[in-house]
Amino acid sequence: THCISSAASDVYKRQAEYFTLTGVFDQARDQLLYARKLLIHDYKQTLIIDQQLKDLNKLKKRMESL
């Protein structure tokens, strides 16, 4: 089960990266949240995703202010 959830979370994280690069920030956030749910028992990965969510929020606000 660990391998499956890890692989699925990798897909969600890659999709989040794609959506971030294309400026679809809400979808990027959703993908990161899906990945976070799968990795809830992996403290390190949860912290990384939390930081990515913070960075995404900052980027979204910067882009909106342009």
Per-residue confidence in pLDDT tens, the chain, 66 aa: 577 788 899 999 999 999 999 999 999 999 999 999 999 999 999 999 999 999 999 999 999 999
Terminal alpha carbon distance of the chain: 44
Instruction: Give start and end residues of each alpha helix (H) in 1-66.
Output: 2-21, 25-38, 43-64
Q: Please state the pTM of the whole predicted model.
A: 0.91
Neighbours of 53 (CB within 10 A): 16
For 64, list phi and psi in degrees, rounded to 5. -70, -25
